[in-house]
Amino acid sequence: MLQATAQPVLFLQPQGKLLLLAHALMAILLLGSMTHNCLITLRYLGGHFAKIRLEKLYVKVAFVAYLLSFGLGSLIYPNYRYHVRARYFDQTMPWASQLFDIKEHWTGIGLALFIVFFLFSLILNPKEDRTPLFVYVFLSLSLTLIVWFALISGLLLSSYRSV
């Protein structure tokens, strides 16, 4: 008779599903706030500055959501690494492991860019500071694309197997 081997209980494993749900909700909040921010900043290039205060609010909301989403993802990672990646993706779907790595690298780059973007938003006045405006809009667009990629790839991977 075969005996089932005891599997280790990892850090925060019992809370894995709840943390994953919170992670996804923060990512959705982040996606919405960055998409709206990007749409407003793109209008800056055409000389439309009616929504500066709203755009700055979107940056603050998105920054907090990015930090929370990134932090929650970090808490989930040990559970994911053992139960999902090592025991399933690496063995049956190596492309999924690679997609996850690409997503994680881009979100790490995005974290660094977001710190710059957030600090930039505190000092930039789009009506008056026209020279750095292109950099600001580029950061907004880049971060929005990173967030869209991370959310779509994260949802896709979770649809195959989650914690």
Closest Cα partner for 42 from 151, 133, 147? 133
Burial 28-43 (b: 16+ CB within 10 A, else e): ebbbebbebbbebbeb
pLDDT of residue 83: 84
Domain residue spans of the chain: 13-160
Contact (Cβ atoms closer than 8 angstroms) between residue 99 and residue 153: yes
Q: Is the pTM of this model over 0.75?
A: yes
Closest Cα partner for 34 from 141, 138, 124? 141
pLDDT of residue 8: 67
- Integer-rounded Cα Rg, in Å, for the chain is 19
Closest Cα partner for 58 from 74, 75, 42? 42
pLDDT of residue 51: 97
HEC-encoded secondary structure of 49-101:
CCCHHHHHHHHHHHHHHHHHHHHHHHHHHHHHHHHHHHHHHHHHCHHHHHHHH
pLDDT of residue 35: 98
Residue in the block written with tokens 């008056």: 128
In order along its 163 residues, the chain shows pLDDT tens digits of: 555 666 766 767 778 899 999 999 999 999 999 999 999 999 999 999 999 999 999 999 999 999 999 999 999 998 888 889 998 999 999 999 999 999 999 999 999 999 999 999 999 999 998 889 999 999 999 999 999 999 999 999 999 988 8
Residue type, 77: Y
pLDDT of residue 13: 74
